[in-house]
A and B are shown apart, each in its own frame.
Chain A
């Protein structure tokens, strides 16, 4: 109880509330502009969060991503151009509803169901995370080694159409993570004599390079004067939303729960949650033939799922320190730089902070409704923002943001290099998600491996002599067998990244 009261007092401070509102508005803007993703919004926010206390920093990221996902629905419904990959699956459906004169209903459903899905996700997170954390207190370095390895391996399996490419992406991330001084032996690795690399490669220039510069390289060629002014729905956008949502209440609940579960899987984020939820909703529907013609049923389920997935991703991130998606990978990086290592101990040692994070989630999701309506009303003007001005500005923001990590130009070079690498990888269907997850998890895997090996005096069997460790080890081996078998046996698809779903998946994995 004391923790909860303390959490309320932490969240109720003016700086946290201000940060939530400001970050939501930032996320709203980023999500509404096609081509700017929620992960890009997060990457651009990180330089600012470096100067904040842990709670406002998390609040900023949580609010911005939740709002960006919702705002991404708006250009999808108005222009048939999803603002973020998480909206791609139902952009057509919402657009066709608009053509039938139900634009207000489509956008109202997006906002309302996103909020409901987000709240379902928070409830699951708040109920289950502490219980799992209690169980995780028994874990030693053996279990953590296998768990991190398993998380990373699952990320490869679910993050793209070719697991071999996911594996290469992951191994590149591990390689980058090994640069610098080894934390156990103190030996210097792969620095090529550079003093700047002694402490390793910083997270921030990697994030900005991979998720902002890569996207800029894809978006700048098409930049110019922004979209033409579009008509926004007149009157109250929530009219008819309540009755439609109630009619499909099962879909909202299913989307929320499914989204949370999918979000908790490492590597699977909001985009995959909405794709799967839409597909299941269609399969279970009494009127599947209406899907794709401007029917609200799939919209309800998928809108709930993508926001619920955001909360779900925090379950492994907070409980084990294993990120569920790229955004939570960033959160772990931010928390670590602030001296907080996510894991079960956080629940016992910093219970107030954990509860405050849950409250922030609730607040951010509740804010989706008023700010979402504001976004819908202002969408016509928002979409006319000239991208020929916006993209160069983002580029300058990236440069200064990368510099601010350590106040060195070396990081700006790193950002540029990673941006070019990210572009090459994306164009060749190598998902970026496993790379960033490996960069975060690499040191965790290595340090736990070394700790276990030192404890056991070099006996490798010690890694599987505890029941949980053995189960995790078997699962990890199974996942790797699947990765290799899938990569070798799966027939090659022709034409590369041309399909809409693949595009969305690719962006999202880098997303």
Chain B
């Protein structure tokens, strides 16, 4: 999704203005005019300046406000975006309750089913092997504390 440079420039300028306002509360070092607010203020001013230049450029070049320029169709992108956002959100919300093995198995099975399209048996089988491999690498070899959840009694009897 490509927007007019004026749009991205305006967002950048707004971020710059927000930085300047937020930095005003930061106090300088004792007996100095510089401190924790100096850099954010400079960054904010530069964002305002560069964002402003982009706005001028976008308006001058009369680019369309918004258009789809990616090589893939918008529908396919939205499906992928939905799949990624839903997978990550589901992982974050469900893993503390159900545990990594169950959540990863379900997410991977669904994704394989959507993108590999070779039937549920194969999708679940590959997902099972993949989940076990990731668990082995991260939880067993690298000691990352992945949540065992419902399968705690199986994994750590």
Contact = CB atoms under 8 A, between A and B. Distances in A.
B115 A223 contact: yes
Nearest to A223: B115
B34 A450 contact: yes
Contacts of B115: 220, 223-224, 387-389, 391-392
B53 A430 contact: no
A458 B108 contact: no
A294 B108 CA distance: 42
B151 interface: no
A393 interface: yes
Nearest to A447: B39
B8 A168 contact: yes
A428 B8 contact: yes
A428 B57 contact: no
A384 interface: no
What is the predominant secondary structure among interface residues of chain A facing chain B?
helix
A168 B50 contact: yes
B97 interface: no
A174 interface: yes
Contacts of A446: 39
Contact of B47 (A171, A224, A453): A171
B3 A428 contact: yes
Nearest to A174: B43
Contact of B54 (A168, A189, A217): A168
Contacts of B112: 388-389, 392
A223 B73 CA distance: 13
B87 A395 contact: yes
A455 B79 CA distance: 56
A424 B1 contact: yes
Contacts of B134: 396-397, 400
A190 B18 CA distance: 10
30 contacts: A167-B46, A168-B8, A168-B51, A172-B15, A175-B19, A178-B43, A184-B36, A185-B27, A187-B26, A189-B23, A217-B77, A218-B72, A388-B115, A393-B108, A395-B84, A396-B104, A396-B107, A396-B130, A400-B146, A403-B146, A404-B138, A409-B95, A415-B88, A427-B2, A446-B39, A458-B32, A458-B33, A458-B34, A492-B57, A498-B69
Interface of B: 1-3, 5, 8-9, 12, 15-16, 19, 22-23, 26-27, 29, 32-36, 38-40, 43, 46-47, 50-51, 53-54, 56-57, 61, 63, 69-73, 76-77, 79-81, 83-85, 87-89, 91-92, 95-96, 100, 104, 107-108, 111-112, 115-117, 126, 130-131, 134, 137-138, 142-146
Given A178-B43, A217-B81, A492-B63, 16 more contacts: A48-B137, A168-B8, A171-B46, A189-B22, A189-B23, A221-B77, A224-B116, A392-B112, A393-B108, A396-B108, A413-B88, A484-B53, A487-B50, A487-B53, A487-B54, A496-B69
